[in-house]
Structure 1
Amino acid sequence: MVLVKLETDATADSANRVTMAKKSAVLHRDLALEFLPLARSEGNYLILETGRRIFDASGGAAVGCIGWGNERVAQAVAKQVRDAPYCATIFYTTKVQEELCRELVDSTNGSMSRAYIVNSGSEAMEAAIKLARQYFLEISPAQPDRTRFISRKQSYHGITLGALAVGGHAYRRAKFEPLLMKNTSSVSPCFEFRGKGPRETNEEYVTRLAQELDDEFQRVGPETVCAFVAEPVVGAALGCVPAVAGYFKAVHAVCQKYGAMLILDEVMCGMGRTGTLHAWEQEGVVPDIQTIGKALGGGYQPVAGILANDRVVSALEKGTSAFVHGHTYQGHPAGCAAALEVQRIIREEGLLQNVQRMGVLLEKALRDKLGHHPNVGDIRGRGLFWGVEFVADKATSRPFPAEAHVAMELADLGLTEKYAIGVYPGGGSADGIRGDHIIISPAFNVRSDEVEMIAATVARLVADFFATLNAK
């Protein structure tokens, strides 16, 4: 990975980073990268050991949803750790787990029946895959041949082997292809910028994609398919791509036609990020299984989960009554305490309404300040979940070569003192390998003046970065 060398104005800052690189015992994501030493965080700012304050305009990987340093959440976690820090869920439950799952189920207005709490989005997807498979063994008559999953190209559903196999992220899959299960396949994403024909209407585009999914069911054998898996708004793999109107109703109808499940991955786009607590509320469909994470606990503890509708839960209740899956740390009390308090804050402070209001402002500001830049190909998103895709040629939407690492270098430059802003980089949006984008996803309580500052700073960052790149 090629990264821009971080600007260093203080000798102490440089010494800290070099010391970390030489002496760290951590198996970091990149062993050649000198990571910035984070000391603390407060509000929307990350504060380095050198004192530099970086505005966190992406909440990490769209995780931070109420800002950092919230005392209510800290106290809730501390109290739970004192009261009962761990629960062996093979024998016990806790009040906090019961309350969190009730909060989540009730938030769906009866659409979902039970919740299952784990520690990461990848764990949630693993649980969803296994639950979908077990459902078809539990119903009468059982359907043991249903072992396949269909997802979409340029999708990402987790880094563990099962979740990676279901996803279509070419770069992350490449080194592990021999280890991945082979009972998966993929169809085209609903990606208006790169997938919709120049003279194609939304209705025609939806019909074409639904037919492609139907054809894939027929190709692999509809009686073998457990589920179709998709993100309502695609996150890291494509950079905040919402579906065109009617798409999810159309693919849901294909699943129902063949008796397969619809699994919606809302780990990144859910729990309020796109303006409603559940992203599927805006699509007019209810999934059979839903994965959640990131904004569930706002980064205060590792926590994620799945929600299952009554069709799925009833099959287990009428069958073996046991979900053959489990983790040592599932339903972890501290994680549940953090998530429960974060969700209460979102509800009590009306933060979903703020996401909707600030999302309108953010979209306008990004389009006004970046829309005409020759290297900005597309600006898309929903709520406080926005992506900017960069292109080498605006007229043809030609992407930069993958080896240029444009998004990563731009995001890296943003962390320097001149800009001091955090955005989330991604790649592969054009064809799975090429295609650079950044994600802008600030906290749900962001203010209008902060939204304007984010857009202005990102515009300045983009202008400076490409002025240097294009001059080479």
Structure 2
Amino acid sequence: MSRVFHRHLKASYPTAVAGDGPYLIDAAGKRYLDACGGAAVSCLGHSDPEVQAAISEQVKRMAYAHSSFFTSEPMEALADFLVDRAPQGIGSVYFVSGGSEAVEAALKMARQYFLEIGQTERTQVIARRQSYHGNTLGALATGGNAWRRRPFEPLLADTTHVSPCYAYRGQRADESAEAYGERLAVELEDTIERLGPRRVMAFVAEPVVGATLGAVPAVPGYFRRVREICDRHGILLILDEVMCGMGRTGRLFACEQEGVSPDLLTVAKGLGGGYQPIGATLASARIRDTIAEGTGFFQHGHTYIGHATACAAALAVQRA
């Protein structure tokens, strides 16, 4: 019996021993076409030589340095690469080890931003039903998938969920796509008014919903209306591109095709292509400058944030 606490303890897993392009190979030599790239991760396949070389070279020089005391060349270079290509207003990047951590960091960064500007009453988060934002407690609370939430409901922070933008199920036969999007925008604004506009901290959404709806984009104009509503009430817009970002929609960031810029943007999966565990929270210059000019210290962190080898791998993936 394996001593690994596997994801499913009643399953029997083949042992993966090698990767060859889009294939994984088990100990018996059987080849598996990794058609979904793991969990939508392995966008370059499993044996890209340039990424392998970048990891090897970085490990030879320096595998890891704690970000409380040092920065590193690959972390700075990856941040420059992302910010140079990010939506307007994004000014800096906070590196983590995966998508759930990126969402946790975004939520805490949003809260600290409001503490820094003296709006301490802003604690409420609005997200959408049938969304998925990760499995750590803050991310799980934000997500709107009932099955994932149910066992841990007593541990979760209170989050308000509104309707997803899911035209296949939600759009009425007698309304246009634009009218459907406007109806959802009105629902969001009504929810903000009910909670109290000065109490709402952030609205969180995936530009393309992945894990819970299956590659579902919003109707035209929906996110522009959401951006307008958030701006009118001083609410931060957090867009979760952990699954749909990093080129998966044809642009590096999915929200570019929606014509909006978020205040906080989360990425992972395709950022490192599976070669190293990495995720990131991209923050607007306004949020970064507010904290920098206030306490100057983001009260959050993990041991492996900004891991030099992970950043070197991710930079090689992005250059490819």
SS of structure 2 residue aligned to 1:168: coil
Match of 1:241 in 2: 216
Match of 1:467 in 2: none
Report 1 or 2 for greater relative contact order, CA contacts < 8 Å, sequence distance ≥ 6.
2
Task: For 1:96, give the aligned amino acid.
Answer: P
SS of structure 1 residue aligned to 2:44: coil
Q: Which runs of structure 2 are paired with 1:281-360 in the superposition (5 Å)?
A: 281-345=256-320
Q: Distance in 2 between matches of 1:220 and 1:34?
A: 48
**CA offset at residue 50 of structure 1?**
2.1
Match of 1:127 in 2: 105
Task: For 2:154, give the aligned amino acid.
Answer: P
Of 17, 21, 39, 1:61 maps to 39
Of 173, 177, 194, 2:149 maps to 173
Q: Distance in 1 between matches of 2:11 and 2:172?
A: 41
Match of 1:159 in 2: 135
Task: For 1:55, give the aligned amino acid.
Answer: L
Q: Distance in 2 between matches of 1:319 and 1:275?
A: 38
RMSD after superposition: 1.0
Tell me, yes or no, if the aligned pair for 2:87 and 2:261 is still in contact at 8 Å: no
Structure 1 pair 110–155 and aligned structure 2 pair: CA distance change class (3 A)? closer
What do residues 293-344 of structure 1 show as CA deviations (whole Å, max 9, x unaligned)? 0000000000001101112112112211211111111100111011010011
Tell me, yes or no, if the aligned pair for 2:209 and 2:244 is still in contact at 8 Å: yes
Task: For 1:107, give the aligned amino acid.
Answer: R
Q: Distance in 1 between matches of 2:223 and 2:249?
A: 16
Q: Which runs of structure 2 are paired with 1:429-448 in the superposition (5 Å)?
A: none
SS of structure 2 residue aligned to 1:176: helix
Match of 1:228 in 2: 203
Task: For 1:173, give the aligned amino acid.
Answer: R
Matched, 1:93 2:71: yes
Q: Which runs of structure 2 are paired with 1:253-272 in the superposition (5 Å)?
A: 253-272=228-247
Q: Distance in 2 between matches of 1:174 and 1:37?
A: 32
* Poorly superposed stretches of 4+, deviation over 3 Å: none
TM-score, normalising length: structure 2: 0.98
Structure 1 pair 147–109 and aligned structure 2 pair: CA distance change class (3 A)? closer
TM-score, normalising length: structure 1: 0.67
Task: For 1:206, give the aligned amino acid.
Answer: G
For the pair shown, the structure with the greater C-alpha radius of gyration is 1
- Quote the sequence identity (%): 53
Matched, 1:146 2:146: no
SS of structure 2 residue aligned to 1:113: strand
Tell me, yes or no, if the aligned pair for 2:88 and 2:261 is still in contact at 8 Å: no
SS of structure 1 residue aligned to 2:90: coil
Match of 2:172 in 1: 197
Q: Distance in 2 between matches of 1:268 and 1:161?
A: 19
Tell me, yes or no, if the aligned pair for 2:90 and 2:284 is still in contact at 8 Å: yes
Q: Which runs of structure 2 are paired with 1:26-37 in the superposition (5 Å)?
A: 26-37=4-15
**CA offset at residue 109 of structure 1?**
6.1
Task: For 2:18, give the aligned amino acid.
Answer: R
Q: Distance in 1 between matches of 2:133 and 2:87?
A: 26
Q: Distance in 1 between matches of 2:126 and 2:303?
A: 29
What do residues 87-116 of structure 1 show as CA deviations (whole Å, max 9, x unaligned)? 111111111111011111111265310001
Task: For 1:331, give the aligned amino acid.
Answer: G
Match of 2:255 in 1: 280
